[in-house]
Amino acid sequence: MIALSKSESELTGLRILRGIEYFETLDVAEFRKALLHHHADWCKVRVNAADHSLFNKLDSLGLPYFISSVIFKNEIIIGKEHAAAEIPPDISIELYDDSQQKELTSLIKAVAKEPVGVYYNNEMIDRFLSEELEDKINTAYILSFSHNTDAAKYAWLLRVNKEPAGYFMGFARGKTFEGALYGIHPSFRGMGLARVVYQMMLKICAENGFEKFENGVHTLNYRSLSPTVREGVVPKAMYFYVTVYPFISFAERNCKAVIKTPAEKIMNALCQTFENSVIDLSWRFFATNALNQNIQITISDPIRMKQSSVQILFATNQKQEICGHGIIRLP
């Protein structure tokens, strides 16, 4: 369902997870179980917008979340015509194998300076990440598509007259190849290279036995949507890009223990202690599983952490497994 993103986690010191595939619906119980199992701090998933109960499900998680964008999921069935596509002679590609890391890193920085998509500001991320660190995370994520380190991942450098002009990448899932992202150096934009990138990806798919190509494009990224549709890779569904913030590992490292006591008493005590604060429903979801148990609660120290909120974890007595989590915002 979800997996740890090693490059992002190592750079931030947080446990950042991503959905392995598109979610057609959100199974709240399984998703919550996976978050707790992985001690997730952030988790990024793409959920089908046709799930009309999605926001009720997200609310029932009792965790902060953010909709960063809306994505079209596009796909096309690979045919013989894709293998026959003719690529202009001045354009070439080469498979990324770590030896071109310096060159690819330079391209990533150039592309990031002049983004073409429209994205919403995320205050939660801004509190933890500087712009410089965000750039490092983006770079590390793209560099992780080395076929040398992961046989399912592929990245290519795009060259025009042997000059580095862009990159594109994706990964294999059975007989489907999923395009992850691509970037064109600002100096080479306006030359129709985005369309050539799609032609090349489809040609690669045809030559390597893939039966379907799919990718996700942000709905406001019209510069990507145009070449996508022109090459027949058309939208089939729409997905919300959701980031959930359990901050479990973060809270575990910054918490102090509090006496064990029945769950019901803890709930009453919290309401009294933080009477003048805004109390998120996030800490309440544990009660359905632990209301009749004695549990141990740990509360973060907001002064030491310089935070405007208190992180709370609930654990059972028997195995000390986390059964709940929450946030109380201070006045």
**pLDDT on residue 254:** 58
The structure's pTM equals 0.74
**pLDDT on residue 273:** 58
CA–CA distance, 38 with 298 (Å, rounded to integer): 18
For residue 46, the SS3 value is strand
Q: Is 118 exposed, middle or buried (0-12, 13-18, 19+ CB in 10 A)?
A: exposed
Output the tens digit of pLDDT for each of the chain's 331 residues: 899 988 889 888 889 999 988 999 999 889 988 888 898 888 999 999 999 999 999 887 777 788 988 999 999 999 999 999 999 999 999 999 999 999 999 999 999 887 766 566 676 677 677 888 888 888 998 999 999 989 999 999 999 999 999 999 999 999 999 999 999 999 999 999 999 999 999 999 999 999 999 999 988 888 888 999 999 999 999 999 999 988 777 766 655 444 444 555 555 665 565 555 444 434 443 444 444 444 455 555 444 444 445 555 555 444 444 445 555 554 4
**pLDDT on residue 285:** 39
Residue 226 phi/psi, 5-degree rounding, is -60, -55
Q: List C-alpha distances in Å: 267 to 152, 205, 276.
A: 47, 56, 15
Strands 176-184 and 212-218: parallel
Residue 160 phi/psi, 5-degree rounding, is -120, 115
Comparing C-alpha atoms, which of 297, 289, 295 is closest to residue 270?
Answer: 297
Comparing C-alpha atoms, which of 284, 254, 273 is closest to residue 330?
Answer: 273
Domains, the chain, in order of start with CATH, read: 2-72 (no CATH), 80-231 (3.40.630.30), 248-329 (no CATH)
**pLDDT on residue 69:** 86
Strands 16-19 and 153-160: unpaired
**pLDDT on residue 121:** 67
| Sheet of strand 16-19: strand arrangement | 2-4, 16-19, 42-48, 234-244, 65-77, 212-218, 176-184, 163-173, 153-160, 91-95
